[in-house]
Amino acid sequence: MSTTPPALPASPEPAVATTLRPGTSARVSVPATTANLGPGFDSLGMALEFRDDLSATVLDHGLEVVVEGEGDGVPLDESHLVVRTMTRTWSLLDAEAPGLRLECRNRIPHARGMGSSSAAIVAGVWLARELVPDGPARLDDAAAFALAADIEGHPDNVAPAWFGGFTISGHDAEGWYAVGSPVDPRIGAVVLVPPTPLSTEAARGLLPASVPHAAAAADAGNAALVVAALAGRPDQLLRATRDHLHQEYRRPAMPDSLALIDRLRADGVPAVVSGAGPTVLALVAAPGSGADAGLPAADVVLGSCPPGWQAEALAVSPVGVRAAD
C-alpha cells in the first residue's frame, strides 16, 4: 500500500445535496493503533488486532448515540467525535441525513495512547461514506485517509487504522501520504495499559521546541532501523526502538510508564511508549515463533504487568478499517 492523495476537493460534484434514505445502515470495525514505536515520532504507526465496532442507521429524524464499553463521559449528542466526523464527511459529499442512530461498542481505551480518537475518526469517515449511495466512488481510500488525517491533525495513527499493518506516514507539499511496510510474522505485541488517562495535548505540551542535532540524527537512524527490523530482523528491535526525541521529556507526566519501560528494556525487551502514552508497548515473539524471533515471549512481559494495570497480548492486524460482521 502506498498513497499520496491529491488535495481534497472543496465540494465534490454533484452540487445537488443527497438526502439519505431512512433505514439505510452500515457497520464498521476499526483497529487500535500504536504510534511512534520509539523513534518514529509522528510518522510510524501499526494496527493492532483489538477493535471497536460501530453501526450507523439513518433515521427519519433526531439523533441517538449509544456507547457501550470504553468511553465513559463522552458526549452523546452532535459533538460526539464520530457524529462530527460523519457530518463533515457528508458535507464533503454534499449529502445529509434527516436523522441518525449511532451505536459504538468500544474496546480501545480512551486517552491511553492506543489511537481511540483516530479509530473514531476513521470509523466516522467510513460509515458516512458507506451510507451515501455512490460514496466510495466519490471518496476513494486515498481521499478518505486524507480527510481523516485532516480531522485528526496528524496521520501516524490514522494511516494504520485505515490501511492496516505497519505504515510510514506524513505530510508534504502534495498532501498527506501513507506507505505500507511489511511486518515479520514472528513479531507480536503486548500492551500494558495503566488505569490513569493522559491527554495527547498534555503529552505534547511537554515537548521542547527544538532538540539537539545529535538527538535528531540518532532518532533518524533508529527510525530507519525500525522499518528494517520489523520487516525481517526482529533481533534488532531493542536497538532500533531507542528514542531520543520525546519519551524522556514526557517522563514527568507518566513516571510509572517510563519506569516500567526502563525495567523491561534492561531485561532485553523492546518496550516503548505507545503513541502519546501512557500505555507501554512491548514487541514480543508471536505465538509459535519461539526463540527464532530473537524476542521475548509474551508471557514474560505479561508477567511484568503492574498491579491495577491491564495487559493484552495482541497480533499485528494486517487489515485496517473494514465492514463489521
Same domain, residue pair 308 and 250: yes
Q: How far apart are CA 46 and CA 260, in angstroms?
A: 21
Same domain, residue pair 126 and 99: yes
Q: Hey, which bits of the chain come out as E strands? A: 2-3, 18-19, 25-35, 44-59, 62-69, 95-96, 99-106, 166-172, 175-181, 187-193, 271-273, 280-285, 310-314, 322-323
Where among 147, 180, 213 does a domain terminate?
A: 180
Residue with cell 512481559: 301
What is the distance, to the nearest Å, from the Cα of residue 203 to the centroid of all Cα atoms in its chain? Answer: 16
Q: Dump pLDDT digits (tens) for 16-60.
A: 589 999 999 999 999 999 999 999 999 999 999 999 999 999 999
Could you tell me the CATH number of the domain that includes residue 254? 3.30.70.890
Mean pLDDT of all residues belonging to the chain: 93
First to last CA, the chain: 24
Same domain, residue pair 128 and 193: no
Could you tell me the CATH number of the domain that includes residue 116? 3.30.230.10
Classify residue 77: in a domain, yes or no.
yes
Classify residue 324: in a domain, yes or no.
no
Where among 180, 204, 237 does a domain terminate?
A: 180
Is the pLDDT at 14 greater than 80? The verdict is no
Domain around 228: 187-314
pLDDT at 155: 97
Same domain, residue pair 71 and 140: yes
Is the pLDDT at 9 greater than 60? The verdict is no
Where among 180, 205, 224 does a domain terminate?
A: 180
Classify residue 251: in a domain, yes or no.
yes
- Comparing 1 with 93, the larger pLDDT belongs to 93
Same domain, residue pair 38 and 94: yes
DSSP for 185-243 reads: TTEEEEEEE-SS---HHHHHTTS-S---HHHHHHHHHHHHHHHHHHHH-GGGHHHHT--
Q: Dump pLDDT digits (tens) for 276-297.
A: 999 999 999 998 876 677 899 9
Reported as type and span, the H/E element at residue 258 is helix 255-266
Is the pLDDT at 6 greater than 80? The verdict is no
Residue ranges for the binding site? 109-119
- pLDDT band of residue 5 (cuts 50, 70, 90) is low
How far CA 232 is from CA of 1, 167, 224, 323, in Å, comes to 18, 15, 13, 30
pLDDT at 201: 77
Same domain, residue pair 161 and 249: no
Residue 292 DSSP one-character state: G
Interacting residues of 8 by C-beta distance below 8 A, sequence separation 6+: 92, 143, 146, 147, 150
Classify residue 39: in a domain, yes or no.
yes
Same domain, residue pair 146 and 216: no
Q: Dump pLDDT digits (tens) for 113-163.
A: 999 999 999 999 999 999 999 999 999 999 999 999 999 999 999 999 999
Classify residue 323: in a domain, yes or no.
no
Residue ranges for the binding site for ATP? 109-119
The number of folded domains in the chain is: 2
